């Protein structure tokens, strides 16, 4: 493992701002602001933690610039009024007092308003997903309204400067207003703001001119762009490159590259299954034509990847978003030569998008339980207890990690390799780059912390005789096998986990029973191996429980591989020919299949915890027994890690 990152920790400069290294915190909405857009104490605590982590500059999340239609999200930060400035000043001061330079991104929502209020945009081209949820169709802006927005950006930049921010970044990507105008997909105007490239660039160039008039020639302006929006009739990288040249000529200090919009979100916030560093190609293309710094961002998960991007000349700085949610100390740990201690972002988009970002919730993170709850979830020393943890999956290892950090004496029992259900989940090639680093992180923490790992199955007798004060049971779940189905015990029927482990031979045509998380991933593995895959899902919805963006990855590959999907069908028989299914009307049909893979869910593994509780009540009533993870209810990695963390943190609450 690489432990030295000389390019990453080389000092740099954006405009007149000296930076201690090449790491920038990319702007991301947290939902921590007050409903009126003002700064909260929780927001200050969050940014204090990020700044302490070692990034050279923290670019604060997007802030709305006017009172009309620029606000995108509930509890979004505001910079539209002078009464926003005192809180913003505290925010900039907090960041700088903790070792980083402070910047802020200023934004207008355009068509992408997550609040059910009237959006205003370049044209009346809606964002399909939010319109389907009840948001009105965008109203095209008048020329006079456009001119007012230009002035609003200028005033917002002046407020940023007044508040003490070292730089302002213009949000000109991801489908928000400025990129609405730049992309022909969303700009159908016939006036001087639409049509040819020169006109579609006009809004951004006018905004830069206005900002310069407000803040002076030396105040650094960064512009964040999408290389392309990935729409069939959207803007191209060639157009973005031309725009970048114009931006440099207008005095912009840096260009921050990203990609996509909220409809093509797999390119904007890439999930598992997408390439790492998925937008770096766009940074490289822009860097070839400008002399100002270019920030590369997007799925740059670990320091060795960031170092290689800089070493190969694909960018001048690295923008980190989700990786600094997963571990705010990512820069510090890399600088200290201990990248193995970085808690990696796994790009699940479950905590940050599905459960938090852009809706009326504070952002959360699957692997970092304390994100945006830094004080509430601080790990503090506790009365020392003897603690046994049963199960070395994500719930058990997080429980063991937190218990050890609190000062408890911890023994972890695991009969297999450490990793639990992550071992199978990480086997598909499209998930390995994200999940294997998480397994490695947990294993490293088990080695470094005072955790005794016992590679054996824990028994009730051993747990009761071990003089433990508490036992955390993270025994996981077992595959649910449908009962009373004729032919279910046929040799042609196998379990999904057996397929992922490569333990079984399968025929050319495979019926996958179950279209949830496990079923879809094993189905994709089989389809990519050249087999014909048929999904049978009893619900009307396919891929239930899978995040919106990850669905896009699966749907695209399934179309390319001609995968067949039947929903609203229930398996009733396995035959020599294939499988017999029945729909809601009772109609039966037989689908030919050489092999059948069961991915029909999981049941909690309750045997040990129930027996332990029963025996402890008789023999050792003072023993605290807590179950975590899938042995309560089968869930996602988020649920496992969060339940393990919480249980360990509260162990001494009533002992």
CB atoms under 10 Å from CB of 624, counted, come to: 18
Segment holding 642, helix H or strand E: helix 637-649
Angstrom distance (rounded) from CA 229 to CA 125: 14
Catalytic residue among 62, 176, 413, 441: 176
DSSP secondary structure string, 42-77?
HHHHHHHHHHHTT-SEEEEEEEE--SSS---STT--
Burial 209-239 (b: 16+ CB within 10 A, else e): ebbbebbeeebbbbbbbbbbbbbeebbeeeb
Helix pair 202-215, 143-163: axis angle to 10 deg: 40
DSSP secondary structure string, 478-498?
EE----S-TTTTSTTEEEHHH
Closest CA to 527 of 508, 504, 551, 542: 508
CB atoms under 10 Å from CB of 504, counted, come to: 13
Angstrom distance (rounded) from CA 521 to CA 427: 10
Using only C-alpha atoms, what is the Rg of the chain? 27
Query: Is-catalytic flag, 176?
Result: yes
Angstrom distance (rounded) from CA 393 to CA 463: 19
Q: Can you tell me whether residue 603 is helix, strand or coil?
A: strand
Angstrom distance (rounded) from CA 223 to CA 471: 53
Angstrom distance (rounded) from CA 240 to CA 227: 6
Q: Which residues belong to the active site?
A: 176
């Amino acid at each position: 493992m690489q432990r030295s990152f000389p390019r990453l920790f080389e000092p740099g400069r954006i405009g007149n701002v000296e930076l201690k290294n090449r790491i920038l915190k990319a702007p991301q909405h947290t939902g921590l602001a007050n409903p009126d857009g003002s700064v909260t104490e929780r927001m200050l605590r969050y940014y204090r933690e990020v700044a302490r982590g070692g990034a050279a500059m923290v670019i604060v999340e997007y802030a709305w610039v006017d009172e009309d239609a620029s606000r995108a999200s509930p509890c979004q930060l505001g910079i539209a009024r002078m009464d926003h400035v005192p809180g913003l000043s505290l925010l900039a001061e907090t960041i700088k007092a903790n070792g980083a330079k402070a910047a802020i991104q200023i934004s207008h929502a355009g068509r992408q308003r997550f609040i059910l209020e009237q959006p205003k945009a370049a044209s009346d081209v809606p964002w399909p997903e939010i319109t389907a949820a009840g948001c009105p169709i965008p109203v095209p802006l008048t020329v006079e309204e456009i001119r007012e927005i230009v002035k609003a950006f200028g005033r917002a930049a002046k407020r940023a400067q007044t508040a003490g921010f070292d730089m302002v970044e213009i949000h000109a990507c991801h489908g928000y207003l400025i990129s609405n105008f730049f992309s022909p997909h969303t700009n159908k105007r016939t006036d001087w703001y639409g049509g040819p490239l020169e006109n579609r660039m006009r809004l951004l160039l006018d905004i830069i001119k206005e900002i310069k008039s407000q803040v002076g020639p030396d105040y650094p302006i960064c512009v964040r762009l999408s290389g392309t929006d990935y729409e069939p009739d959207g803007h191209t990288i060639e157009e973005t490159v031309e725009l970048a040249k114009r931006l440099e000529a207008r005095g912009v200090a840096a260009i921050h590259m990203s990609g996509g919009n909220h409809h093509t979100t797999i390119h904007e916030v890439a999930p598992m299954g997408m390439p790492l560093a998925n937008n770096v190609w766009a940074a490289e293309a822009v860097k070839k034509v400008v002399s100002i710094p270019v920030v590369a961002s997007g799925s740059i998960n670990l320091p060795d990847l960031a170092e290689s991007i800089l070493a190969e000349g694909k960018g001048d700085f690295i923008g980190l978003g989700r990786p600094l949610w997963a571990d705010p100390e990512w820069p510090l740990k890399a600088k200290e030569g201990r990248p193995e201690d970085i808690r990696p972002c796994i790009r699940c988009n479950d905590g940050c998008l599905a459960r938090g970002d852009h809706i009326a919730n504070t952002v959360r993170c699957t692997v970092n339980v304390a994100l945006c709850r830094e004080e509430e979830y601080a790990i503090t020393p506790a009365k020392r207890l003897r603690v046994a943890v049963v199960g070395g999956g994500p719930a058990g290892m997080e429980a063991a990690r937190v218990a050890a950090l609190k000062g408890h004496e911890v023994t972890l029992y695991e009969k297999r390799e450490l990793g639990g259900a992550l071992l199978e989940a990480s086997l598909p090639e499209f998930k390995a780059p994200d999940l294997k680093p998480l397994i490695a992180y947990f294993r490293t923490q088990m080695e470094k912390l005072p955790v005794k790992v016992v590679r054996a199955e824990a028994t009730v007798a051993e747990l009761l005789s071990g003089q433990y004060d508490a036992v955390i049971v993270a025994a996981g779940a077992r595959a649910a096998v449908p009962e009373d189905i004729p032919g279910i015990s046929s040799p042609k029927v196998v379990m999904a986990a057996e397929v992922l482990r490569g333990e079984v031979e399968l025929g050319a045509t495979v019926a996958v029973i179950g279209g949830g998380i496990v079923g879809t991933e094993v189905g994709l593995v089989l389809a990519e191996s050249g087999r014909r895959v048929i999904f049978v899902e009893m619900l009307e919805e396919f891929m239930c429980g899978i995040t919106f963006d990850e669905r896009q990855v699966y749907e695209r590959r399934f179309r390319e591989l001609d995968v067949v999907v039947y929903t609203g069908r229930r398996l009733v028989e396995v035959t020599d020919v294939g499988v017999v299914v029945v729909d809601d009307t009772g109609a039966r049909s037989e689908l030919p299949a050489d092999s059948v893979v069961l991915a029909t869910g999981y049941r909690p593994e309750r045997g040990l915890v129930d027996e332990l509780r029963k025996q402890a009540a008789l023999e050792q009533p003072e023993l605290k027994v807590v179950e975590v993870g899938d042995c309560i209810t089968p869930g996602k990695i988020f649920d496992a890690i969060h339940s393990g963390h919480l249980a360990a943190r509260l162990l001494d609450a009533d002992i």
